[in-house]
Amino acid sequence: MDILKDLFDEKIIKIISLFIENPGKKYFLSDVANITKVNITTTFRILNRLSEKGFMKTAVIGKVRNYQLDYNEKTRELMKILRKDEDPIQKFISLISNRPRLRRVLLESKEGNNAKIILVGEFIPQEKITLIVNQIKKEYNFTINHVELSEEQYIKLRDFKNYDLDKKIIWEKPSD
């Protein structure tokens, strides 16, 4: 990201970064200017240029326009370039956390491009987990080794003397 600041106008990078961080969100011109702290006329020119080039979708509501990132091949490539060192473990959690039987994710250890993760839940579909692990390996060159524990096994292991698993929890399903 810092390399791009040397090559491109910092104002353009600020505006593009805002939309990449929130790709589904629609913004009004004044919102973009306020959030990025870029002059409103400059923001208007930048957003129009990005719309002309196919990076933004513009919708006119009455006399007001709103802007949203246009999800296409150009923006996907731009997102890869501007991605702010997204953590592969966080990406893994975001992809796995919607599994209904998953209760907790624990980070046992992390060294370099490898992590050991404990998944706590009942009957978590291993083929889907393997697909996610392979996706992370492909996108980030990061290996995730995982093991599944049932809720009962987790409780028994947690109760061992001097083995505090609660400190290793990096994601937990909200209680119903």
What total of structural domains would you count in the chain?
Answer: 2
More confident residue, 176 or 71: 71
pLDDT in tens, 80-111: 666 655 678 888 988 898 888 899 999 998 88
Confidence (pLDDT) at 125: 84
Closest Cα to residue 120, out of 74, 171, 85? 171
Distances (CA, A) of 67 to 59, 158, 170: 7, 49, 34
For residue 166, what is the domain's CATH number?
3.30.300
* pLDDT of 159 higher than 60: yes
Q: What is the mean pLDDT of the chain?
A: 85
Q: Give the gyration radius of the chain's Cα atoms.
A: 21
- Of 63, 82, 101, the one marking the end of a domain is 82
Question: d(Cα 101, Cα 107) in Å, to the nearest integer?
Answer: 18
Task: Look up residue 84 and give its two tokens.
Answer: 């702010």
Q: What are the residues whose beta carbons fall under 8 Å from the beta carbon of 109, sequence distance 6 or more?
A: 115, 116
Supply the pLDDT for residue 130. 93
Q: Are residues 7 and 57 in the same domain?
A: yes
Domain boundary among 57, 82, 107: 82
Distances (CA, A) of 95 to 25, 71, 130: 20, 19, 12
Angstrom distance (rounded) from CA 41 to CA 32: 11
Give me the CATH number covering residue 70.
1.10.10.10
Kindly state whether residues 51 and 71 are assigned to the same domain: yes
Say whether both 57 and 95 belong to one domain.
no
* Residue 127 or 23, more confident: 127
Q: What does each C-alpha distance from 60 to 27, 40, 66, 111 come to in angstroms?
A: 12, 18, 7, 50
- Assess whether 66 and 116 both reside in one domain: no
pLDDT grade, residue 4 (50/70/90)?
A: low
Q: What is the span of the domain harbouring residue 158?
A: 88-172
User: Which tens digit of pLDDT belongs to each residue from 37-75?
Assistant: 999 999 999 999 999 998 898 988 888 888 988 878 888
24 shares its domain with 43:
yes
HSE (CB half, 13 Å, CA atoms) of 141?
2
Q: What percent of the chain has pLDDT over 70?
A: 89
